[in-house]
Homo-oligomer: A and B are copies of this chain.
Amino acid sequence: MSQNPVSCENCSLDNICLPRGLSQSEISNISKVVKARKTLQRGDFIYREGDRFNGILAIKSGSAKLIANDNHGNEHILNILLPGELLGFDGLSNEKHGCAAVALETMTFCILPAESMSQLFQNVPSLTRELFRHSGEKMLEDKNQLVMSKRPAEERLAYFLISLSERLKRRGFSSSEFKLSLTRQEIGNHLGLALETVSRLLKKFQDDDLIVVQNRFIQIKNLDLLKNMLQPED
């Protein structure tokens, strides 16, 4: 892997990613230690479960999935990661990654090296604050996933589409049309559904004029109605 120096200073993701909320001089400070890594292809591992923790990573372009293995040899897709989102927190607790990260498509990422973290915490206090903020956000996201995991299949899929749409919007992509870099299998795995159920429900959503599906392309036609599925009926 190449380790080109990279600049957070002129990165288009500066308002979403690590430097969010930092002053110009602070950004320039972290910019000195943040490294860019070479491009990965779909299926490539960013890190594997058990790998030594090397730092907090940030998606620069493309997308990735976080996967955990259970005792039964099954993979579980814990999260989908979009540009500007941080990953690697699963390695914070004991220097070893607790799950794996895999590219979902051609992608690039940056790295805040572990060895410079303690020094940065001293020199750039807002970075500490910001990292805790990111880590708090991850936990709230996990919380939502846990709550949703107890809801029926239809709601889980609706929530998945809505949250994806909103996260894409915040990153300057279209919120109403996007390509899923996931197979039905992977969507089902992530949501705890059989792939056939995902297929059936996407069709149902289309029949109800909520979305248009064409293979992995999704067009959201009626976001409000989709959101209504998450609300009580009355």
Contact = CB atoms under 8 A, between A and B. Distances in A.
A93 B149 contact: no
Given A76-B147, A122-B122, A232-B71, A93 B128 contact: no
Interface string A148-168: 011100000000000000000
A215 to B, nearest CB: 26
Contact of A93 (B73, B125, B140, B145): B140
B232 A73 contact: yes
Contacts of A89: 135-136, 139
Q: Is the interface on chain A under 10, 10 to 19, 20 to 34, or 35 or more residues?
A: 35 or more
A91 interface: yes
Interface string A77-114: 01000000000011111100011000000000000000
Stoichiometry (number of copies): 2
A145 B143 contact: no
A131 interface: yes
Interface of A is mostly: helix
Contact of A145 (B98, B133, B137, B146): B146
Contacts of A149: 146, 149-150, 192
A118 B129 contact: yes
Interface of A: 68, 70-73, 76, 78, 89-94, 98-99, 118, 121-122, 125, 128-129, 131-140, 142-143, 145-147, 149-151, 192, 230-232
